[in-house]
Structure 1
Amino acid sequence: KGQTILRIDDAKLSQEVARLEAMVAQSETTWNRVQTLYEEENIGSEIDYLTAKYAFDQNKSALASLLVDLENTEIIAPFNGVVETIFVEEGEMVAPGMPAIRLIGAEQFVISAGVPARYANVVELGDRVDVWFDTQVQDTLAGTIVYVANSIDPSNRTFKIDIRLPSGQSYYKVDMIANLRLNTLSLDQAVVVSEEFVYSKDDGYVMYVKESNSEGKDIARERKVELGPSFKTEVVINQGLVPGDEIITIGSAFLNDGVRINVVNSTGPVLAFD
């Protein structure tokens, strides 16, 4: 950081600076003389006075502008990194906006991603994000959201977030594709089941649980359930089940309400958790 990594040939600009420095010195001398004669001895006209003053000011401004151009002939590294690619050859003409080098940072990496607009009210700065790469599936990293955009991209209806990765890892590569997992919902207590045991029926959803009839025989009881959020193949049941219900799994797709069942394997109630 702070080192010069590329310099544009400034020979012509340096000569122009020397020429303007001479013009500034000459116009300053002229201005001082005209000012003294006009203000102290009342010699000369106001036009001569103003012409000398403005000529001096114009030359100073031109010199200041050229010095800025001279400073811009150097490209300074804005951060610590390694020059990976040089896009121009020595002696080649370059233009403003033309890529010259590619500098890869060596200390801090950031992942940029687009999040669907429906999560705009739950993603915040400082949130933890689980990150893993296809080349390092066994290592899940804990990143932190350091930027959340204030606008939605109209082309894909997402908003941008940036995640800072932990430092000290050697296998990060620029342009790697990362997998992210964000926590968009937290529930203190919930009943969660596999979606394969939830069936659509009469504009709603049902599940089958084990109950006993008046004779003490095991039967399938149809329960209408209200679904909540889902993740992968699991879904939250908002209403219709309670902790302790025994869900019928194997063969449940062929059941009707009140059908006698034969329990061959019971894993016990494991629906409710914190």
Structure 2
Amino acid sequence: MKLLITNLLLLGICMIIYSCENTLGKEDKRERMELLKLQLKEINNEMIALEKDLKLSGVEHELSPSRILVTALSLKTTKFHHETEIRASVASRKNVLLAAESMGKIEKIYVSEGQKVKKGQLLVTLNSQVLQNSLEEIKTQLELATVLFEKQANLWNQNIGTEIQYLQAKNNRESLDHRLGTLKSQLRMSRIYAPFDGVVDKIVAKVGEFSQPGLPMVRIINPESNYLKADISESLLGKFSIGDTVQIYFPNQNQNQSSVISAIGQVINDQNRTFELEVVMPECDFPVRPNQVVVIRLVDYLNDRAMVVPTKLIQTDNQGSFIYVLEGKSDDKKASKAYVNIGYSFDDHTEILSGLVENQMIVEKGYRALTQGTLVEITVDK
């Protein structure tokens, strides 16, 4: 067929040269001839490539009426793993909404949103004038009670006065001292301090508003305390351990990071049949926020000596899953169905649990044109 097409092309070239004989000069004819020869060579190369593709796909049966060209693959054991993707979110161990502990009008807010704060830094104060006045009053009374107690103690040491007078002076001083401590505690409750180093995320309070105990006022967050948490199906129980490496995908930033499992929940949630998984937050050069959605890729299966084939080679019929293997001598190869039990599939490859053996030859290309017992010819895929 190729010879016939080539001859027809040569005949066409000659006719073109003849038709141009009267209009082209000798040099022009020679250049024209070289150009046509080059075009003929390109066409011939393209025909060869197309013919090869048709043979491999088993479409052009007239090229090899008795045999079908295929490529073969020798099975080898290899390391195989399966990954599962789990939806997770960013959480923080230091993400608190501070609330008022006492009643009063908001007098002053000392910080603004986005500001970094230190542990113990004053954030908000409530009107505490009444407490301040009571505090000063108790301090004055305590000073007097202390002086009276010291004098009474000196007299008592000299056996002057009664024991009742000494005990009353002592009790009065201690009572005022306790009242002073109580007022100081109440005064501290009218002020809100940062419980840890962090950033002011949100300020709910407004100066002049009346605060009630438990009313949210300021949110403080520490980004360094972020971690990842996910609810895992109980079907994956025992598939991984603390310290295992995982891959983390941040869809908003289209970034991948590696990390390790830090904690595994010990209780199954009876509502959704899941348990909790915690992963260490990796160091990121992009912003990450609490409640941000991420994807965790976990290795839930690993086999160091697995029999693995491309998933596309596995076909099915009414008897089950099968792969075409090569049988017979080198000059008399034929395709035969080998029924297999398959395991996990991942990354376009599937583990074969049984049905194939190491070093067995399977059909890699041209398998779609095969049936049981088809004669084949092995070619090299270039």
Question: Could you tell me which amino acid in structure 1 is paired with residue 184 of structure 2?
Answer: L
- Segments of structure 2 that go 5 or more residues without pairing to the other structure are 1-116
1:208 aligns with 323
Distance 1:109 1:63, change over 3 A: same
Is residue 2:203 matched to residue 1:86?
yes
Count of paired positions: 259
2:356 aligns with 241
Is residue 2:246 matched to residue 1:129?
yes
Deviation, 1:89, is 0.9
Q: Quick check: 1:117–1:159 contact (8 Å CA) kept in 2?
A: no
Deviation, 1:140, is 1.0
Corresponding residue SS for 1:161: strand
Q: Quick check: 1:114–1:161 contact (8 Å CA) kept in 2?
A: no
Corresponding residue SS for 2:173: helix
TM-score normalised over the length of structure 2: 0.54
Residue correspondence of structure 1 range 1-274 to structure 2 within 5 A: 1-2=117-118, 4=121, 6-9=123-126, 10-41=128-159, 43-46=161-164, 48-72=165-189, 73-76=191-194, 78-81=196-199, 83-105=200-222, 109-137=226-254, 139-156=255-272, 157-167=274-284, 169-193=285-309, 197=314, 206-212=321-327, 216-225=332-341, 227-231=342-346, 234-247=349-362, 259-261=372-374
Once the two structures are overlaid, the 10-residue window that deviates more, 154-163 or 190-199, is 190-199
Corresponding residue SS for 1:174: coil
Q: Quick check: 1:5–1:77 contact (8 Å CA) kept in 2?
A: no
Aligned residues: CA RMSD:
3.9
Corresponding residue SS for 1:189: strand
CA distance in 1 between partners of 2:378 and 2:219 (Å): 62
Question: Could you tell me which amino acid in structure 1 is paired with residue 323 of structure 2?
Answer: Y
User: Which string of whole-angstrom CA distances, capped at 9 and with x for unpartnered residues, describes residues 203-227 of structure 1?
Assistant: xx643331326994513233342x4
- Segments of structure 1 that go 5 or more residues without pairing to the other structure are 269-274
Distance 1:42 1:265, change over 3 A: farther
CA distance in 2 between partners of 1:247 and 1:199 (Å): 16
Corresponding residue SS for 2:301: coil
CA distance in 2 between partners of 1:254 and 1:68 (Å): 87
Q: Quick check: 2:145–2:169 contact (8 Å CA) kept in 1?
A: yes
User: Which string of whole-angstrom CA distances, capped at 9 and with x for unpartnered residues, describes residues 14-51 of structure 1?
Assistant: 333223323332333333344344453252244x5444
Q: Which structure: larger Rg?
A: 2
CA distance in 2 between partners of 1:69 and 1:200 (Å): 80
Structure number with higher helix proportion? 2
Q: Quick check: 2:229–2:276 contact (8 Å CA) kept in 1?
A: no
Q: Quick check: 1:191–1:243 contact (8 Å CA) kept in 2?
A: yes
Question: Could you tell me which amino acid in structure 2 is paired with residue 260 of structure 1?
Answer: G
CA distance in 1 between partners of 2:308 and 2:348 (Å): 10
Q: Quick check: 1:31–1:56 contact (8 Å CA) kept in 2?
A: yes
Question: Could you tell me which amino acid in structure 2 is paired with residue 174 of structure 1?
Answer: P
CA distance in 2 between partners of 1:159 and 1:42 (Å): 73
Question: Could you tell me which amino acid in structure 2 is paired with residue 218 of structure 1?
Answer: K
CA distance in 1 between partners of 2:176 and 2:375 (Å): 101
CA distance in 1 between partners of 2:187 and 2:374 (Å): 88
